[in-house]
Structure 1
Amino acid sequence: MYGPFSRRGKRKLSSEINVVPFIDVMLVLLVIFMITAPMMNQGVEVELPQASAEPIDSDTPPLIVSVDSNGEYYMSRDGDNTPVSLESLGAQVQSVLAEQPQTPVMVRGDRNVSYGQVITLMATLQSAGVPNVGLVSEPGSGN
Structure 2
Amino acid sequence: MSGMKGMMSQDRRKPMSEINVVPYIDVMLVLLVIFMVTAPMLTQGVKVDLPQTTSDPIQQDKDVESITVSVDSNGAYYLEVGDRSGDPMSLAEVREQVAKILSQRTNGEVLVRGDEFVEYGVVVRLMAELQAAGATGVGLITDTPRERP
* TM-score (norm: length of structure 2): 0.57
- The yes-or-no answer on 1:93 pairing with 2:95 is no
SS in 1 for 2:85: strand
Q: Quick one: structure 1 residues 103 and 132, their matched pair in 2 at CA, closer, same or farther if it must change by over 3 Å?
A: closer
**1:73 correspondence with 2:77:** yes
Percent identity between matched residues is 40
Matches of residues 1-143 of structure 1 in structure 2 within 5 Å?
A: 53-59=55-61, 60-82=64-86, 83-141=88-146
Structure 1 residues not aligned, in runs of 5+ = 1-50
**What is the distance in 2 between the residues matched to 1:63 and 1:84?**
15
Gaps of 5+ in 2: 1-52
Distance 2:135 2:56 in 1: 22
Shift in Å at residue 103 of structure 1? 4.6
CA pair 110-84 structure 1, distance change in 2 beyond 3 A? same
The amino acid across from 1:106 in the alignment is L
Q: For residues 50-100 of structure 1, what are the alpha-carbon distances to aligned partners after superposition, in whole Å with 9 as ceiling and x for unaligned?
A: x67422112122100010001100000122221221111111101111111
Distance 1:114 1:70 in 2: 9
Q: Which structure has more helix as a fraction of its residues?
A: 2
Give the equivalent residue in structure 2 for 1:27: none
Distance apart, 1:136 and its partner CA: 0.3
Cα distance change on mapping 1:56 and 1:111 into 2, 3 Å: same
Q: Superposition RMSD on alpha carbons, in Å?
A: 2.0
Q: For 1:72 and 1:63, locate their aligned partners in 2 and report how far apart those are by CA, in whole Å.
A: 17
Using CA pairs below 8 Å that are at least 6 residues apart, which structure has the higher relative contact order?
Answer: 1
Q: TM-score, normalised by structure 1?
A: 0.59
Deviant stretches of 4+, over 6 Å: none
